[in-house]
Chain A
C-alpha cells in the first residue's frame, strides 16, 4: 500500500509557524483526511485557513506584545534617524570587522536569553505576555520594547557600518521592511513553549507483576504508547523502537530519552516491559498511554537482574515466544 504524504511545504509551514506543535490533534485530522483521499489543493486550502485563523487568534492574544514591539520600534526609528544624521556609527572595512560584529551580536543574544531565563524562568517574552495573570507582565512589556529597539538598531548599525552609502530613502525602505517583519512575525507564528525539564527519576517502584499468566496479553506483541507533554501520543513497539523514535516529529521524545543515554537494548527492553505490564499488571488495555515520567523507572527496571533472565540467550529465539511458552506450560 502506498502511503500518501501531504505537500511538504504546507507541512513545513504548519510545523515551523508553530501550528502543528500547538495543536497536534488538528495536524492529525488534516493528515487523516488527506490520506482518506483529499487532494493536495484541499490540504493547501486547509493549511492557509489554519494560518488565517491563527493570525486572528494571535492578534487577540498578542495585543500587549504587539503594542510593546511597535513602541520599541518607534523609539528605534527615532534613534536611527538621529544616528543617521550624525553619520554614526562610523564605517568599518574588512571581513574581520563583520565577523567581530556578528559574534558580538550572537554573544549579546545568548546573554540576553540567559538573563530572561533567570529573571522570569521563561526566555520567550511573548509567551510570558500571553499568559494571563503573570506577575512579570509590566517588566516583560518594557523589556520587549527594549529588545525590539536593540535588535533593529543593531540592524541599522550593521548596514551603516558596512554599506558604502545609506541615503534617506533607502533607510526609510529598510525600516518599512523591518517594521513589517516585527509586526507580522507575532501575528503569523505561534510561540512554542519551552519543553519541560525532565523530572528526576523516581525511585524504582515495586517490580510490576509482568509475568503473571494472563491469556489475553499473549495475543499481541508488546507495545507501549507514550504520552508526551504536548499531548501527542507515540506508539512504540519493541521490535522497531529505534526506527520509530528518531524521526524529526519525535524530537521532543528523542531529546528526553537521549538525556538519559539509554542503550538501544535497554530501550527495547523498557518498551517490552511497559507493554507486558500494560497487559498483565494493569489489566487489559494494550493501547493505554503511559506518561514519559512513568517510562523512566522502566528503563531502570530493564537492566535489573530480576528481569535479566527474560532477555538472555538464545538470541534467535523471540523473547515473546519464549515467555509465551513458559506461561503456557505453567497454565497446563
Chain B
C-alpha cells in the first residue's frame, strides 16, 4: 500500500500525504509512526530513497522528508501485482458479486 501511495503521489510524497492517501483508500486511520517504519524498511531494501525538503513554520522548522520509488521498487510492485492477479484468478467463490 505504501509503495502504491508513493506511485500515486509522485514527487510530493512525504509522511502526511502518504498517510492521507492510505487513509482515504483504505478507510482506516493510519499511524504515521508505522508509515515511517515501513518506509525505512523499504529504504533499507533499496526500494525507496528519501531526500530532505524545505522546512516550514507550520512544521516547527522541521524539514519534510520526501520519498521516491526506485527502479527496483517499481519492479517489485509489478511483480507483486502479477502475483496477486494470478492468485485472484480462478477462484469461483469470488466470482459473481455478493456472497
Q: What residues make up the interface of A, taking CB atoms closer than 8 Å to B?
A: 23-33, 35-36, 42, 45-46, 49-54, 56-57, 225, 227, 231-235, 249-250, 287, 289
Contact = CB atoms under 8 A, between A and B. Distances in A.
Nearest to B33: A50
Contacts of B37: 53, 56-57
Given A25-B63, A29-B14, A233 B33 contact: no
Contacts of B46: none
Contact of B32 (A30, A227, A231, A250): A30
A225 B59 CA distance: 14
A29 B57 CA distance: 12
A31 B59 contact: yes
B61 A249 contact: yes
The size class of the interface chain B forms with chain A is: 20 to 34
B33 A49 contact: yes
Contacts, number: 93
B74 to A, nearest CB: 23
A101 to B, nearest CB: 42
A25 B61 contact: no
A147 B66 CA distance: 41
B7 interface: no
A28 B56 CA distance: 9
Interface of B: 14-16, 19, 29, 31-34, 36-37, 52, 54-65
B59 A234 contact: no
B65 to A, nearest CB: 3
Contacts of B57: 235
Contacts of B62: 24-25, 27-28, 31, 232-233
8 contacts: A25-B14, A26-B36, A27-B60, A36-B16, A46-B32, A46-B33, A49-B31, A250-B61
Given A234-B61, A235-B61, A25 B52 contact: yes
B14 A53 contact: no
B34 A28 contact: no
Nearest to A250: B61
Most buried by B among A24, A57, A227, A289: A24
A216 B15 CA distance: 33
Contacts of B52: 25, 227, 231, 233, 289
A29 B63 contact: no
Contacts of A36: 16
Contacts of B29: 42, 45
Most buried by B among A33, A35, A42, A52: A33
B61 A26 contact: no
A235 B55 contact: yes
